[in-house]
Structure formats: C-alpha cells, structure tokens
Amino acid sequence: MMTADTLTSQQQAQEARRRAFVARMREISRRIFTYALMSFIGFLFLFPIIFMVVAAFKPNDRVIADLSSFAALLPNFETFTLDNVNDVFSRVSFDQYMFNSLFLTLVTVIVGLFVNSMAAYVLARMRWVGRAVILSLVVSLIIIPLEAIAVPLMMMVNNMGPFVNLVVLFILIVITLMGWNVIWNAVASMTENLSRTLPLPVHFALQVVLTILLTLPLTVLIYFMIGQIEKGGTWLNSYHVQILPFIAEPFSIFLFYQFFINIPKDFDEAAYVDGADNFRIYWQIIVPISRPVFATVAILKFLQFWSFYLWPLMVTREDTYRPLMVGMDFFQTQAPIRWGSIMAYAAMVTIPVLITFLLFQKWFVQSVSSSGVKG
C-alpha cells in the first residue's frame, strides 16, 4: 500500500513536472515565434533606411553592383568613402538647403508655438464677446487642408496689396515685440545668478546681446519682408512666404485649447484677482504647467514642416530659398544620375532627424498618441 502510494505521488509529481515543462516549452516557442515574426516585420521597416545609409557611403559603382546580394544592406568598411557626400556638395548647394530648411522649420515651429498657444489661452481661459463664434470657426478650419487652398493662396501671395502687406508686417512686429519682452525677462531670470557676480552694465549688455541673438530670426524675417515689399508686390521666392501662412494653425490652437481648458480654475484665479495681467498669467502660470502639450505641438509641427514639400515647390524659384525637400526633388532628376549621391543626400537629411528621434523617442511617441485624442 505504502509503496503504491509513494509511487503514485511520485508519478503525480513527475506528471506535474512534465506538464510544467511542456507549458514552459510552449511559452518559449511562442516567444521565439513572436520575436521572429516581429524581427521579420522590423526588417521590412528598416531595410530601405539601412540600404539608404549603406549606399550613401559606398563607391557609386558598388551601389548597383552589390544589389544582387545581401551586400546591399551590409556596410563595407573597406570601401567606405565620402565621395558621394562630396559629390552632393559640389553639385548642389546642400549647405544652403540645409540652412533654409532649419531656419524655416525652426522659425515656423517656435513662432507658431507662441502665437497659437496665446490664441488658445484667449479662447480657453478668458471670457469675451464673440469667443464662441471664433472658437467654432477655428475648429471648423481644421478640416480645410492646405492642398485645397494652395492654388488661390499662391495667386494671393504673388500679388499682395499694400494694405495686406502692412497688416502682416504689423502682426509680425507685434509678435516680435512680445517675443522681445518674453526673451528679455527669460534672459533676466537666467542670468540672475550671474548678476550677483557681474557688474550691472555687463549684466545689462549680456541681456541685450542674448535678446537680440534669440530674436534675430524674426528680425531677419522682418528685414527680408520690408526688402521684398520695396521691390514689388510679389512674395514669391522668399523666406516669409514659406513661414507666415503657416504660423497660425487651427489644429495647434485646438490641441492647446484642449489642454488649457482642463487646467483647474484655481491655478490662475488668485493671480487674476490680484490683478496680474493676462500675459503674465499666460507666461508664468499656464505655460510652465503645459510643457507636454508644447512638446506635442512642437514635434508634430516639426515633422510636418521638415518634410514640407508642396508649398515650397510652388513658391520657390531659386536655390537661395529652397528647402531640402525641394532640393532633393531637383537633385534626383539632375543628370548625371548617380544613385550613390542621391542616397548620400537622403541619408544626410534623414540621419540627423533619426538621431533626434532616438534621443527623444518617448516624446515623439507621446506627441503622436496625444494627437489622436479628440474631444
């Protein structure tokens, strides 16, 4: 009896162990399968990018010769060369394009953040006559895509009347003055610690220099605009034609609005009762607690304007004002077609953005997922 019992319990234990083993094997094989599937999908997503980067640093004749094997996707350090990169620089003004793209994107995004968030503040946290009308107008403007108004907009900017020119210039100057104010104060608080060690005039000079430097893009823009207005009515072929129409954007205002409207009233009530003016409340209370939505809008707009193609294609005629994407479009059809150089161009545009993405990927993913939350 005893032996039989032990046998059964032994058998039971064995059976249980066997089952656990099977379950574990099943789990492991399921995992292996999952990882294999996901790696394969990952390969499908990565191979064009890998190919581009590898081909960019290969001698041009190897680019096509390697295609028949996996060598197309493998970096070869023996044949590493910068010929393609040099070829790009010698045939097109890549540095000019790069500067243009950076300048246009940064100014549009940063000024857009400022202008759109202020508009959203006015809509979300102030009561005024006509607020509801403007709000519904802004929201309904979201569905009008740029593509739908591109043609009449091109017609319009080609022949800007003096009145519209003055209005736009005035808006730009107002934005710049507010920007000066903000940056002046920000620089002051940044250099506050320094001011104890520095003599007052030096501190003041530092503040002036930093403010001028930080608002330089806007000042340059105003300078260019005045020059263009003097030359004649057309805005075509300039920086401001690629910036000003896109500073105010309904979707950005909407994203800011959604965030601001959910901030509890007691955050700014006290300041309001104390008589703090609205700009102060906006800048010192609302903006600091709204960092996530600022990051969201900044990243979405950055991706949008970095790859902006349709409008710059329509309004630029010279290399001086062309951004990278339009330059790429012309470069890829410019004889002689050297695929190595084209891939080098593509890689030089993509790698900086990919690195930025890898560094801030949490923010990127967050901004995309919060763009989908619709109230």
Partner 1 sequence: MRLFFQNNLTGRKGRDLLAVLVMGGPAFLLLAIFMIWPFILGIDLSTTNQRFDGAQASDIGTRNYERILGVGIGGLPPKPEVFPDSRPGVGWYLDNQGKADFRWRTRGIDDLDEIWEGLENWRGYEVMSVFSIGSNEYAIFARDPLFWRSLRNNLAFAAFVVPVQTALALMLAILINQKLPGMNVFRTIYFSPVVTAMVIVAVVWAFLYNPRFGLINQMLGVLSIGPFDWLQHPASALPAIMIMSIWQGVGFQMVIFLAGLQDIPEDLYEAASIDGAGVVHKFRYVTLPMLRNTTIFVVLTTTILAFRLFDQINVMTPDGGPASSTATMVWYAIRRGWRESEIGYASAISVVFVVIVLMISLVQRVFVKSESALD
Binding residue (CB under 8 A) for partner 1 from 2, 5, 40, 128: 128
Task: Provide the H-helix boundaries in 191-290.
Answer: 192-197, 200-214, 216-231, 240-247, 250-261, 266-273, 278-281, 287-289
CB of 201 to partner 1, least distance (A): 32
Can you tell me the distance from the alpha carbon of 249 to that of 267, in angstroms, rounded to the nearest whole number? Answer: 27
Q: Work out whether 239 is an interface residue with partner 1 (CB under 8 A).
A: no
Binding residue (CB under 8 A) for partner 1 from 143, 201, 262, 318: 143
Q: Is-contact 224 238, C-beta < 8 A?
A: yes
CB of 266 to partner 1, least distance (A): 19
Can you tell me the distance from the alpha carbon of 242 to that of 315, in angstroms, rounded to the nearest whole number? Answer: 8
Encoded one letter per residue, x for contact with partner 1 by CB under 8 A and - for no contact, window 28-47 reads ---x--xx-xx--xx-xxxx
Reply yes or no: is the peptide bond before residue 336 cis, omega within 30 of 0: yes
Q: Which of residues 86-105 bind partner 1 (CB under 8 A)?
A: none
Encoded one letter per residue, x for contact with partner 1 by CB under 8 A and - for no contact, window 283-322 reads --------------------x--xx-xx--xx--------
- Residue span binding partner 1 (CB under 8 A) among the ranges 3-11, 219-227, 260-268, 278-286: 278-286
- Tokens standing for residue 279: 């700009």
Q: Work out whether 332 is an interface residue with partner 1 (CB under 8 A).
A: yes
Encoded one letter per residue, x for contact with partner 1 by CB under 8 A and - for no contact, window 148-177 reads xxxxxxxxx-x-----x--xx--x--xx--
Q: Work out whether 353 is an interface residue with partner 1 (CB under 8 A).
A: yes
* # residues contacting partner 1 (CB under 8 A): 98
Q: Could you give the 3-state DSSP secondary structure of residue 71? A: helix
Q: Work out whether 64 is an interface residue with partner 1 (CB under 8 A).
A: yes
Rank residues 4 and 358 by Cβ distance to partner 1 and give the closer one. 358
Q: Work out whether 115 is an interface residue with partner 1 (CB under 8 A).
A: yes
Q: Helices 240-247 & 216-231, crossing angle to 10 degrees?
A: 120
Can you tell me the distance from the alpha carbon of 235 to that of 156, in angstroms, rounded to the nearest whole number? Answer: 9
What is the DSSP code (8-state) at residue 207? Answer: H
State the Cα angle at 24 between 22 and 27, rounded to 5°. 110
CB of 298 to partner 1, least distance (A): 14
Q: Work out whether 23 is an interface residue with partner 1 (CB under 8 A).
A: no
Q: Is-contact 188 207, C-beta < 8 A?
A: yes
Q: Is-contact 98 327, C-beta < 8 A?
A: no
Q: Is-contact 328 306, C-beta < 8 A?
A: no
CB of 373 to partner 1, least distance (A): 8
Binding residue (CB under 8 A) for partner 1 from 182, 222, 271, 325: 325
Q: Which of residues 176-215 bind partner 1 (CB under 8 A)?
A: 178
